[in-house]
Chains A and B, each alone.
Chain A
Amino acid sequence: MDETKKISFWESKKKQNFIISGILYVIAWAGALIFVVPLVWMIVTSLKTPEEIFTIPPKWIPISTITLNYDLNIKSQRDGIAEFSKRDDGTRIITIDNFHHVIPESATVLVKKRTKITKGQVIATMPKQGIVKIIEHDDKTKILQVVDENGALIKQYQLPENIKLFVKDGDIVKPGTKLVRINPQWQNYVKAWAPEALDETFNRYLLNTIIITVFGITGVLLSSTIVAYAFARFRFPGRDVLFLIMISTMMIPVQVTMIPTFILFKYLGWIDTFAPLIVPTYFGGGAFNIFLMRQFFMTIPYELDDAAKIDGCNYFQIFSIILLPLVKPALATVAIFGFVYNWNDFLNPLIYLNSTSNYTLALGLQTFTTMYGTDYNLMMAASTIVLLPILIVFFFGQRYFIEGVATSGLKG
């Protein structure tokens, strides 16, 4: 009796854990979905036409079809006396109790001037079918018209570049006919890459960013490893105090050093050059990176150094021949963090770079948004262009991100 009770207790506990784990699993995925939505939405939006952006409910797949759609019978919206007028472009307006009905040229009007109309009464009929007419513009956009046999316009659609036509010139179509499929607008990326409203293309921004990033990462790698080597492998007076100072610089806000540093670079004549963004990386490479490298050096046994010393290696040789190859994963981590930092950095380029030809991707993207404030499809395409390299590096270098954080966050 006692025995069975115990087993069922364990069983129930197991079951309970299983249920809890299941609930957590669902929560984890629901959260992940929310986290990934902004990036997915960025890509989806980047492939839409301007019309497709502003729809409620939002469209998740940037493919849409245009179906010929018009009412055969135009009905009055109000009770009243019909008044007629004509626009300059030839369309007719029937006004009933202050409500203006626009009657296309191709429609047949069924009511006479000054007659009494009741709400819901058919006042005009549209042709049951029309003929497709396609007009191409110079900029590759098209206009698709549906006209009646006299050439009078029934309906008109402005089409973007990237479409698939289901109908051809001269086809006879009825309401409900599928006319066009609008495909993902890949040319949004072309438009975003070389924006008409900006002096520079993203070629330039990309090149500038690559130059700054490459030299920046090199500086960080060189100087942070050397400094970390000193902190990890040498005994000298004041080492621990200096190390503590180094760690505490992580808590100094950059703004407090920003202004004098700016003035210094101004006197050196370095404003609007890449030097202020690159040169400081060669002087230490940042407290976080030094700390990270030091942690890695500490894990390597001293015996290796001693053995190398006996073999006649000097400190430089120990550093470059023995130790550096052993901390490759740490170098990768520092390089990847450096890449992300340089790629995303905004404040420094904003302060130091003035002419658009020197802009980085981050600055270029910001300028882009000020010029294309509501063209969210182009803004999302530009954002995707800027983020893509980061996403690629992230997927290939994930391990190093995680290792880097784990090493520095824990052993400190």
Chain B
Amino acid sequence: MEKKSKISMSTHEAIWGYVFLLPWILGMIFFVGGPIIASLILSFCEWDLIQPPKFVGLDNFIKMFTSDKRFWASLYNTFYYTVFSVPLGIIGSIAVALLMNQKWKTVRLLRTIYYLPSVTAGVASAIIWMWLLNPDFGLVNYALSLFGIKGPLWLADETWSKPALIIMSLWGVGGNMIIYLAGLQGIPQQLYEAAEIDGAGLWGKFRHITIPMLTPVIFFNLIMSIVWSFQIFTQVYVMTGGQGGPSDSTLVLVLYIYQHAFKFHNMGYASALAWVLFIIILIFTLLQFKLAGGWVHYEGELKK
């Protein structure tokens, strides 16, 4: 009795493993897997939540790609935002991480300051930026005026509304900075010492040690940054009152999905839009995994 056989022990363990896993499995079924399938089915339907859903085949997608100008606008705006905010964000956060990796006495305080804006992200920081970017009395345009530049209307101007969002996103680089900082601190000091003996300068060390050793972190961060930037919503909603204006210049994909689902109650069309977003993110992620071999350096991992 005391001694169970080896098989029953491992079965016992497996059963308990599944028991502990149960909350997640249920969550996966009810809040992830189920809804994903449901939204795929919905994307082929028309449903206003009042009448029963009606199967319409590919109509939603055909309409989207052939006659929905706002869809194309939202796609363009989302890509525009991603194309600029992701690379600038990564460069910015690496640059700040390099600075924060110095051995200064005040470096902890500096880290705090740089990190702070990334925890305040949300409605409040969107409001702060509305005020900073106020065309007449905002600090940004005042700062520009000190250099003799007449600042644009920012959020009230079609051409400057997206750059305004990008600038705002850069305020949050502190969050990724911490990830890169941890990455930098994980680079063995001997590598630098060896390089110094070989006569490498600051640039050489950066180019041939820091960057390659950081590529796994950059890779992970790049994927997540793209995933997140495709989902930009709160800032736009708050700054434009849920409209995505002026003249749809800040209508991003998620805002458009939101409008169709919860303002116009086109659940089918909104699901189709959400699936397009999902597929775009999927393609980008898979593409990056495919390209990763070319530039991501896994030497550090082998040491484990």
Contacts and interface: CB of A to CB of B under 8 A. Distances in A.
Interface of A: 20-21, 24-25, 27-29, 31-32, 35-39, 41-42, 45, 53-58, 223, 226-227, 229-231, 234-237, 239, 242, 245-246, 249-264, 266, 280, 282-285, 290, 315, 319, 340, 343-347, 350-351, 362-363, 365-366, 369-370, 376, 379-380, 382-383, 386-387, 390-391, 394-395, 398, 401-402, 405-406, 409-410, 412
B39 interface: yes
B114 A227 contact: no
A401 B231 contact: no
Q: Which 8 A-B pairs have the closest CB atoms?
A: A283-B27, A234-B17, A344-B122, A236-B14, A260-B38, A230-B20, A406-B182, A284-B27
Interface in B138-168: 139, 142
A284 B262 contact: no
A259 to B, nearest CB: 5
Contacts of B121: 344
B36 A256 contact: yes
Contacts of A54: 136-137
Nearest to B30: A283
16 contacts: A25-B104, A28-B102, A58-B142, A231-B21, A260-B39, A260-B271, A283-B30, A315-B20, A346-B122, A347-B233, A382-B127, A394-B119, A401-B119, A409-B178, A410-B182, A410-B186
B216 to A, nearest CB: 9
A256 B274 contact: yes
A236 B127 CA distance: 49
Nearest to A364: B123
Given A28-B99, A226-B20, A365-B123, A253 B182 contact: no
Interface string B214-238: 0001001101100100110110011
A409 B120 contact: no
B112 to A, nearest CB: 6
B117 A280 contact: no
Contact of A35 (B24, B139, B174): B174
Nearest to A386: B124
B91 interface: no
B24 A290 contact: yes
Given A35-B113, A257-B39, A402 B178 contact: yes
**DSSP class of A's interface residues: helix, strand, loop or mixed?**
helix
A323 B260 CA distance: 47
Given A236-B13, A255-B254, A401-B115, A229 B39 contact: no
Interface in B65-114: 96, 99-100, 102, 104, 106, 110-114
Contacts of A390: 119-120
Interface of B: 10, 13-21, 23-24, 26-28, 30-32, 34-36, 38-39, 42, 49, 96, 99-100, 102, 104, 106, 110-117, 119-125, 127-132, 134, 136-137, 139, 142, 171, 174-175, 178-179, 181-183, 185-186, 202, 217, 220-221, 223-224, 227, 230-231, 233-234, 237-238, 241, 254, 257-258, 261-262, 267, 270-271, 274-275, 277-278, 281-282, 285
Given A227-B21, A259-B261, A253 B122 contact: no
A363 B123 CA distance: 8
Contacts of A36: 113, 116
Contact of B123 (A20, A229, A366): A366
Contacts of B270: 259
Given A242-B21, A346-B237, 10 more contacts: A39-B120, A227-B24, A252-B278, A255-B274, A256-B275, A258-B257, A283-B23, A283-B30, A350-B258, A409-B183
Nearest to A367: B123
A395 B277 CA distance: 37
Nearest to B235: A346
Nearest to B11: A236
A40 to B, nearest CB: 10
A328 to B, nearest CB: 20
Nearest to A55: B137
Contacts of A38: 117, 125, 128-129, 132, 171
A31 B99 contact: yes
Given A25-B104, A39-B120, A259-B271, A251 B227 contact: yes
A377 to B, nearest CB: 10
B128 A42 contact: yes
Contact of A283 (B17, B24, B132, B275): B24
B274 A258 contact: yes
Contacts of A236: 13-15, 17-18
Nearest to B271: A259
A60 to B, nearest CB: 10
Contacts of B282: 251
